[in-house]
Amino acid sequence: MKSKKEALDRRSFLKASTASGAAAFGAFALAGNQSAMAATQSADSSSMTAMASLSEEEIAALPRVKQELVAPPFVPEHEQVASGGPKVVEITMTCIDKPWAVDDTGAEVWAMTYNGSVPGPLVVCHQDDYVELTLKNPSTNTMEHNIDFHASTGALGGGALTHVAPGQETVLRFRATKAGVYIYHCAPGGPMIPYHVVHGMNGAIMVLPRDGLSDGKGNPLRYDRAYYIGEQDFYVPRDENGDWKKYDGPAHNFADVFPIMRTLIPTHIVFNGKVGALTGDAAMKAKVGESVLFIHSQANRDSRPHLIGGHGDYVWEAGSFADVPETGLETWFIRGGSAGAALYTFHQPGVYVYLNHNLIEAVELGAASHVVVEGEWNDDLMKQVKKPTQMT
């Protein structure tokens, strides 16, 4: 529902704008309010409403905020319900190529990363915000990179406008017109597209509805925590003795890695870059009674997230927040090349396993993580009536 406070915020936003831009902002705010009204009637109409285009002058007059990106599974600080009107959200990503251990048995790749993590950082904004990315490719790298945002419209998702050779930087601005979770990835062209993606160069953006998430029936949905899980398939060559091969730099493994990629059989399928990256001390954390939003991306292969001992209370399986979420799911499906989101309220303490429920991919290849939940056990939900004992 459109709150009075938010309506006031919109008015104060108008007042704060420059006199020369105010008339245009009035037209924009009207379009925005129509969109918001539509959103209160039907969740699936909010992103369908055409928004007025802004001129460069009008965009220049919008508030600008810098978003500090953080390494997954953490997500940047953000509001769930947008205060005020659209903003320009400034982010910076630096391409960093570096050796990367993918397990504890010596398997290593030259990862190509955004900001040094696999996956790249989660970006968060609201529908109709503008995302302004500065993409840097330091001269210490040897590969050309770019970025294709599935959340954006035009020019190969920005891929055609963001090619940066080592030593270059570029700035891309796009308007986040569609609410949902979407992947982004490097797409420098030809075989380099899958090569960069399966060496870690992908991530996700969450474009929240301005009014926050809802169940599609007029009820808001809020989360106490959010985690971003990026699932990654790796194709690591072995030598004639079966040992993992190591290389001096990115691209040095072409002759060995492409034949493995073409088998479509990964050597590793992991969450957040490494087998066990989200277990032990690095496990995700929550408390009984908290609602946790799990954002899950897979830029290349299909996946089947499942929370052992819990459920997907509300699941935007295909990622679009304009759709009514599915409810009470046991396992959901992430299409290769997409992200999805699942909201769950924890009711019992303990260690939960969040995994890809292709159990071979989870247990043998690495696609598993832990959520450690603190709180009081509820015997009503589950009780061990008799401990395992020898049968008489």
List contacts with Cu ion (CB under 5 A). 112, 145, 186, 196, 201
185: annotated active-site residue: yes
Q: Which is nearer to Cu ion, 127 or 137 (CB)?
A: 137
Instruction: Tell me the C-alpha distance between 116 and 111, whole Å.
Output: 9
Report yes or no: 207 and 152 within 8 Å, Cβ to Cβ: no
- Amino acid at site 118: V
Parallel, antiparallel or unpaired: strands 180-185 and 148-149 = antiparallel
Tokens read off for 248: 């001096």
Q: Which is nearer to Cu ion, 88 or 299 (CB)?
A: 299
CB of 137 to Cu ion, least distance (A): 9
> Among residues 93, 112, 125, 201, which one is catalytic?
201
Instruction: Tell me the C-alpha distance between 295 and 343, whole Å.
Output: 9
95: nearest Cα among 201, 233, 230, 228: 201
Q: Which helix (H) or strand (E) holds 248?
A: none
Judged by DSSP in three states, 27 sits in helix
Comparing every residue's Cβ against Cu ion, the nearest one is: 186
199: annotated active-site residue: no
145: annotated active-site residue: yes
196: annotated active-site residue: yes
CB of 353 to Cu ion, least distance (A): 32
376: annotated active-site residue: no
336: nearest Cα among 322, 319, 360: 319
Q: Which is nearer to Cu ion, 283 or 299 (CB)?
A: 299
CB of 234 to Cu ion, least distance (A): 15
Instruction: Tell me the C-alpha distance between 232 and 385, whole Å.
Output: 41
CB of 131 to Cu ion, least distance (A): 19
Instruction: Tell me the C-alpha distance between 23 and 52, whole Å.
Output: 13
* Share in percent of the chain as helix, strand, coil (round to 5): 20, 35, 45
The sheet with strand 148-149 has its strands ordered as: 123-126, 202-208, 180-185, 148-149
331: annotated active-site residue: yes
CB of 196 to Cu ion, least distance (A): 4
Instruction: Tell me the C-alpha distance between 299 and 165, whole Å.
Output: 23
Q: Which is nearer to Cu ion, 145 or 178 (CB)?
A: 145
CB of 145 to Cu ion, least distance (A): 3
CB of 135 to Cu ion, least distance (A): 10
215: annotated active-site residue: no
Q: Which is nearer to Cu ion, 195 or 321 (CB)?
A: 195
CB of 23 to Cu ion, least distance (A): 43
> Among residues 79, 239, 330, 364, which one is catalytic?
330
148: annotated active-site residue: yes
Instruction: Tell me the C-alpha distance between 168 and 94, whole Å.
Output: 11
330: annotated active-site residue: yes
Beta bridge partners of 108: 101
> Among residues 126, 196, 199, 370, which one is catalytic?
196
Q: Which is nearer to Cu ion, 22 or 193 (CB)?
A: 193
Report yes or no: 274 and 229 within 8 Å, Cβ to Cβ: no
161: nearest Cα among 145, 172, 151, 175: 172
> Among residues 150, 199, 296, 370, which one is catalytic?
150
Q: Which is nearer to Cu ion, 185 or 370 (CB)?
A: 185
Instruction: Tally Cβ neighbours within 10 Å of residue 264.
Output: 10
Instruction: Tell me the C-alpha distance between 330 and 309, whole Å.
Output: 10
60 half-sphere exposure, CB direction, 13 A CA radius? 6
Instruction: Tell me the C-alpha distance between 55 and 157, whole Å.
Output: 21
> Among residues 128, 148, 313, 361, which one is catalytic?
148
Q: Which is nearer to Cu ion, 102 or 143 (CB)?
A: 143
**Residues designated catalytic:** 145, 148, 150, 185-186, 196, 201, 306, 330-331, 357
